[in-house]
Chains A and B, each alone.
Chain A
Amino acid sequence: SGNLTPNSFTYRINNSPSKEFSDINRMIRQGCV
C-alpha cells in the first residue's frame, strides 16, 4: 500500500493500485524539477 511518509513511497507489486504509480511519478517529477 502506498504510504506517503515525509520521505518515501512504498508500492507492493500486484497488491497496490496502479494509481500509486502516478503519485510516485509526480513526486519524482517535482523532486527533480
Chain B
Amino acid sequence: AQECQNLEVERQRRLERIKQKQSQLQELILQQIAFKNLVQRNRQAEQQANRPPPPNSIIHLPFIIVNTSKKTVIDCSISNDKFEYLFNFDNMFEIHDDIEVLKRMGMACGLEVGKCSAEDLKVARNLVPKALEPYVIEMAKGPISNVYITGG
C-alpha cells in the first residue's frame, strides 16, 4: 500500500510536468504560426503596394507593449544616453509581448482560443513542422488540457 501511495505521488508529479511542457509546446506552435503568418501578410502587402510601408508607420519585432486608458497621465523621465527610462502612470496599465499582439491581430488563426475554421486549420498546419501537425489539429478543437498522446 505504501508503494502504491509513492507511485501515485510520482504519477501526479509527472502529469503536472507533462501539462506544463504541453502548454510550453503549444505556445511555441502559436508563436511560429503567428510569426510566419505576419511575414506572409507583410510580404503580400508590399508586393501589392509595390513598396514597403513608411518606416515611421511600423514597429519591428521584437518589442513589448504597455497599454493603458487614454485618460491616463504618463510622466516619463529619460537618461541622456537613453539607457534608462522611468514611467509614472496615474492609472493602471498592462504589459504584453509581441506574440500577444500578433494573437490579438488574428495571426495565430484562433488556435490560442481553440476556435479555428477548417480553412485556417489548413493554413496553420502548413506553417509547422510535419511532426507537430497532430498537435495543431488537437489545438484547433480547443486548449489541450489532459495528457494528449500524439499518434506518432
The answer to the question of B100 belonging to the interface, with a C-beta cut-off of 8 Å to chain A, is yes
Is A25's CB under 8 angstroms from B64's CB?
no
A13, A18, A31 — most chain B CB neighbours (10 Å): A18
Question: What is the distance, in angstroms, from B92's C-beta to the closest C-beta of chain A?
Answer: 4
Is B62's CB under 8 angstroms from A14's CB?
yes
Complex Cα gap A11–B99 (Å)? 16
Once A13-B64, A14-B62 are accepted as A-B contacts, the answer to whether A32 and B91 lie under 8 Å apart by CB is: yes
Complex Cα gap A24–B140 (Å)? 29
Q: Which residues of B contact A14 (CB under 8 A)?
A: 62
B64, B95, B96 — most chain A CB neighbours (10 Å): B95
The answer to the question of B93 belonging to the interface, with a C-beta cut-off of 8 Å to chain A, is yes
Q: Which residues of A contact B64 (CB under 8 A)?
A: 13, 21
| Size bracket, chain A contacts | 10 to 19
Q: Which residues of B contact A11 (CB under 8 A)?
A: 95
In chain B, positions 50-82 with a C-beta closer than 8 Å to chain A are 62, 64
Complex Cα gap A18–B62 (Å)? 12
Q: Which residues of B contact A25 (CB under 8 A)?
A: 94-95
Is A32's CB under 8 angstroms from B97's CB?
no
Is B97's CB under 8 angstroms from A18's CB?
yes
Q: Which residues of B contact A18 (CB under 8 A)?
A: 27, 97, 99-100
Is B96's CB under 8 angstroms from A21's CB?
yes
Is B99's CB under 8 angstroms from A28's CB?
no
Question: What is the distance, in angstroms, from B64's C-beta to the closest C-beta of chain A?
Answer: 7
In chain A, positions 1-32 with a C-beta closer than 8 Å to chain B are 11, 13-14, 18, 21, 24-25, 28-29, 31-32
Nearest CB to that of B92 among chain A residues?
A32
Nearest CB to that of A31 among chain B residues?
B92
